[in-house]
Every structure is written in structure tokens, then in C-alpha cells.
Structure 1
Amino acid sequence: MTAHVTLQDIDVDNFESFMDMELPEHQRDFLDSNAYSIAQSKFYPDFFTRGIYCDGKPAGFLLYDCKAEDIPGLYGIYRFMVDFPQQGKGIGRKAMALLLEELHAKPDVERIIIYYKPGNAVAQAFYRSFGFRECGIDEQGEMIAEIIPASFS
């Protein structure tokens, strides 16, 4: 049976389901908490949160910026996670494909960047499989990888 994955807005009715999601100990250093990310989205008007749902149930979380580094057309994916009990089921792959499709449809998108810890080999391979190419390390020590929308159309 194929899992049905969707992306939905985080709102007053569902935010608690996503705030409580935690990563296992060995993954916690790779990503800020969902609660922190949801709080950020309330103070940065260009930040958008999306819940990853699998078969109608919360399964992960993502946060993106539609004006990364204050550059119009530059979209930044700052958080992308699948709840630990749901990992390894292909949910992340389907959710990333949906996210890239959603961002590609934005009329002003020119580039999409994603940030991750340089030591996170799983994230590196995952993002590379979608066509992201590493461009360097930012001021916070995170790897930046980018994809040009024309490369995944």
C-alpha cells in the first residue's frame, strides 16, 4: 500500500502536533526544534511552515523562507524533518518532491537553497539526490546547497 503524503499549513488547530515532534538523540544536533521554528515563523513574515502529513496524520515538518538573505527570488529551506517513528518509509522523499514542486510554482523563484550541518551525511545524500549542489559554508557553520528550478522541471 502506497502512503499518501501531503503538505498542509501549520495553524492554530494543528501546531501542537508538530511542536511535540522530536528527533532521536543522535539526530538532535542536526536541527533546531519544530517549536523554535514555529516561533520564528511568527516573527519573520517571509517564513512559512508546512506540516508533512502521511495518510492524514502529522508525520513531519518544514520551514522555508520566500526571501532568503533578503534576496527576492531566493527561497531558503531552513527546516525539513520527518518524525522519527515515520522515518525510513519514503515520506521524506515524497514530501521533498512536493515542496520543490510547490516552490517551483512560485512566480518569482530563481534559486532554492537548503541548509544542513556538514557532518550530516544522510541529509547530504538525500538533498543531492534531488539535484542540490553544495556551494559552501555559511557564517553559522552550516552547509549551503542550491538547486536552480530549471534543473528539476
Structure 2
Amino acid sequence: MDPILFPTRQSTITLQDITTDNWHRIIRLVVNKDQLTLVPPNVESLCEHQFHLPQSFVKAIYADSTPVGYLRVQQVQEACATDATLTTITSASIITSSCANTDRKSTLPGTYQLQCFMIDQACQGLGFGTKALVQLQEQLVAQSTTSAIVEEKAAAYSLTTTTLKVSTALFAKVHPDDSPEHFFASVGFSNDSTGKEMVWVSRS
């Protein structure tokens, strides 16, 4: 990382697309050694997004003009219990799918899983992760609550909440003082009833 452009606590944090111009900088970012069990290597995560995970998106986390982290989000899929048509309208696309039985799956509007979230080891402790996650929450709310509509048996209702989940399965692999649980709790996440996930729900 160029020391002349090294970001500070006052840097502006933005979420930006990963492109042919910046992907090589993103894959060189790495977490602290004791956090390696919490996130996959960035190049592995990018490949999984590209080839294996529909309805997912990735963003680079920038501090001013310097990439300092990366996140990947997956829209949650659930089995359809009844005949239904699901329409999700986003700023980028319109996705419609019909389900006739529980063997088929459809994306659930407004419900997302945080698959990967990391800040480079050189930039941790500066508040970048908190600002990036708050921006992600705001963007997901804007995308899912404004225009997602679910229709089932002629009854329609507007989606009014957005849910973001993160699995806690790997948290036990690090020292409690280093657990991401404290970080996620600071931005509104709480443990669900199963103890397997932390969940954030919008207040809209």
C-alpha cells in the first residue's frame, strides 16, 4: 500500500465496484494472522461469487482513493411452500420467479447474508469497517424496501423491512477478545434464537 496515500481516520469511506482496474489491489488485501480463519482469501471469494453464487454482489471498501477492504453479500433463498410469483425490482434488474412446490427455491426480497467482510490488517482500528457496514445497510434498505413486492394468491403487500445476517460459526475459532461479535453488535446486530447467526433488521 502506497504510504503517501495511506488513509487516516478522517478518510471518506465508500463502497465501489470491483473492476478490471482494481481487482488486483483487492486480492492483495489481507486480515491479521489471527483472523485468517474468519474470512476466505479474497481471490477465492471473488471466484466463488463469479461462478457459483447467483444473486450475490461484491464491493470494494475504499478510504478516499485507497482500497482497504472488501465485502460480499448473498440474497437469501428459501423454498416456496405454495404457488407464488415473486417479483423483486431493483435499480439494476427485475427478477421474477415462480414456485410450485418446496423443491424449488426463490430469492427472498429484503433478506441478505453477509458472506465475507474484511478490512486490511494495516487499516484496522480506524473505524473503516463500521462506516462501510452502515453504508451497506443503507444501500440494502434503499434497494429492497422501495420497490420489492410479494404477491401470493392475489394478496399483495409491500416489503417494509430489510434483514442482514452473518453466520457465527467461525467466531469460536478466535480468542473472545478478537471475536467479530463485538463489532457486529456495535452496528445493530443481535444473536438470533438459534445462536448460529447474528441478525440486523432495519427499522423502516
Do the two structures share a fold, i.e. TM-score over 0.5? Answer: yes
Matched-pair contact (CA < 8 Å) for 2:30–2:119: no
Aligned equivalents of 1:46, 1:80: Cα separation in 2:
17
Matched-pair contact (CA < 8 Å) for 1:17–1:58: yes
Residue 167 of structure 2 corresponds to residue 111 of structure 1: no
In structure 2, the gaps of 5 or more residues are: 1-8, 79-105, 149-160
Aligned equivalents of 2:123, 2:162: Cα separation in 1:
32
In structure 1, the gaps of 5 or more residues are: 138-142
Q: CA deviation at 1:31?
A: 1.2
Aligned-pair identity (%): 27
Q: Which has the higher helix share?
A: 1
Name the count of aligned residue pairs: 146
Letter aligned with residue 20 of structure 1: R
Counterparts of 1:45-124 in structure 2, within 5 Å, are: 45-68=54-77, 71-73=107-109, 74-107=111-144, 108=148, 110-116=162-168, 117-119=170-172, 120=174, 121=176, 122-124=179-181
TM-score, normalization by structure 2: 0.66
Q: Give a deviation string over 1:87-133, Cα, whole Å, max 9, x none.
A: 01111111111111111112246421112423254310111111111
Q: Which has the higher strand share?
A: 2
Counterparts of 1:6-17 in structure 2, within 5 Å, are: 6-17=14-25
Q: What's 1:24 paired with?
A: 32
Q: What's 1:36 paired with?
A: 44
Aligned equivalents of 1:134, 1:118: Cα separation in 2:
12
Q: 1:78 to 1:68 in 2, by over 3 A?
A: farther
Matched-pair contact (CA < 8 Å) for 2:73–2:115: yes
Of 114-123 and 42-51, more deviation after overlay is shown by 114-123
Matched-pair contact (CA < 8 Å) for 1:68–1:76: no
Q: 1:61 to 1:68 in 2, by over 3 A?
A: farther
TM-score, normalization by structure 1: 0.86
Matched-pair contact (CA < 8 Å) for 2:171–2:180: no
Aligned equivalents of 1:105, 1:60: Cα separation in 2:
22
Aligned equivalents of 1:47, 1:16: Cα separation in 2:
20
Matched-pair contact (CA < 8 Å) for 1:40–1:47: no
Q: CA deviation at 1:66?
A: 2.2
Q: CA deviation at 1:75?
A: 0.7
Q: CA deviation at 1:68?
A: 4.6
Q: What RMSD, in angstroms, separates the aligned Cα atoms of the two structures?
A: 1.9
Matched-pair contact (CA < 8 Å) for 2:71–2:116: yes
Of 81-90 and 64-73, more deviation after overlay is shown by 64-73
